[in-house]
Chains A and B, each alone.
Chain A
Amino acid sequence: MTPLADFERAYARFLPPIRAKCRRLLGRTHAAEDVAQEAFLRLWKSGAGEGDPHTVMAWLYRTATRLAIDALRDRRRSDAHEVTEEKLPCAVDLGGYVEARAAIASLASSVPEDELAAAVLCRIDGLPQPEAAVVLGVSERTVRRLLERFDERTTPLRRELSS
């Protein structure tokens, strides 16, 4: 297997899911494409692209989540885009997704990154907490605590959105 083939294979396997993930948070924007490319470039440079798909995907999810949060903070908002239930797998609740996305976009600059990352993974990407814990490299208890803190911060905003 040549290095070129390694690279091409990893690119073909992992870039589409990461593009889809970035679009969930950032919309169909240039920023989403940039973040996906940057996450893949970092994977390439790290030499981690030849692991098993679960490990590589966890690495990419973790990296892309943090890069996307940085992009959100730069822009201070996410571009509006329409999402319908058909575009999300069954584990993602559409109402929760829309609410979380608005909260994350509004609070990106003031909420600690770990809380945002947990919220993105669990509320935007629809990962169960054990899966999010694997991606973030923390315990399930930590994920639970991060989500609780995020929810406490966003309660006023959610009230506002629902009124």
Chain B
Amino acid sequence: MTIDADGEMSTFALDVYWAAGRPADAALEAHVAGCGRCRAYLAELDRLAEDRRAPAAARRRGWALPSAVVTAVALAAAAVLFVRGRAAPPAEYVGAKGAPAVQVLVHRDAETWIWDARSPVRPGDALALRVACEGLEHVAVASPGAGGWERITDAACPAGSEPLPFTLVVDGAPGDEELAVVLSREVLDDETLRAAVTEGRRTQDVWVTGFVLPKEGGSGR
């Protein structure tokens, strides 16, 4: 693949090699074995990967606070929603090719990062949601309440990739935080919303995903 006429490897070639899991390639391996700069570059990619896998508490350094998130957090005073939860639904952090997708952003102190589907959140953490609606037009967020799943907020699907214009703040109640995100073509009434979440409905008109965020000091799972 990838070694040029001068016997050198580009960053692109090294990146592909690394991303492919360093497949067997005798010429390339020989080059890397004899090239300190390329070895150091691959080690730097390993380090960045470890950095990404590190626990959130250790990883929270230097990540950007995207301007849209600043906006969302600034709105928190006006639109703080306390998320409480118990028993509930499916997965955590979902994305699929061409399908709708939802990403949770955690804001703590002065830093924001994408929730990794595992790390616990803390009371006081602000959560923002970034959605890829893929043609659906409305998004509703629900959490478990006394009468089952209850709508806590609605918004129009954003045109771009900016977070939704509200922030959820983790409270101090024990137990995991549970959320359901419902994307739909039309605004759903409460009963339809509840049924869609309960069923985990995924049709052309309604798409539901759930998040269970463990909380530090909570019951865990």
Q: Residues of A at under 8 Å CB distance from B?
A: 3-4, 6-8, 11-17, 19-21, 24, 28-31, 33-34, 37-38, 41-42, 44-50, 53-54, 56-58, 61, 85-92, 121, 125-128, 131, 135
A88 in contact with B37 given A4-B92, A127-B11 (CB within 8 Å): yes
Contact A41 B19 (CB under 8 A): no
CA distance A28 to B63 in the complex (A): 10
* B159: interface (CB < 8 Å): no
CA distance A135 to B37 in the complex (A): 23
Contact A91 B8 (CB under 8 A): yes
CA distance A39 to B7 in the complex (A): 30
Interface string of B44-59 (1 = CB under 8 A from A): 1110110011000000
Interface SS, A side:
helix
Contact B45 A16 (CB under 8 A): yes
Contact B62 A91 (CB under 8 A): no
CA distance A24 to B45 in the complex (A): 13
Residue numbers in B under 8 Å from A135 (CB-CB): 12
Q: Residues of B at under 8 Å CB distance from A?
A: 4, 6, 8-16, 18-21, 35-38, 40-41, 44-46, 48-49, 52-53, 62-66, 91-99, 101, 103, 114, 117, 130, 132, 134, 161
Contact B63 A33 (CB under 8 A): yes
Closest to B3 in A: A91
CA distance A7 to B37 in the complex (A): 31
A14 in contact with B19 given A24-B11, A34-B64 (CB within 8 Å): yes
Residue numbers in B under 8 Å from A57 (CB-CB): 12, 15-16, 19
Can you list 19 A-B contacts with CB-CB less than 8 angstroms, sorted by A residue number? Answer: A3-B94, A4-B92, A15-B52, A16-B46, A33-B62, A37-B66, A42-B161, A45-B161, A47-B99, A48-B97, A49-B97, A57-B15, A61-B12, A85-B37, A89-B10, A90-B9, A91-B6, A91-B11, A128-B4
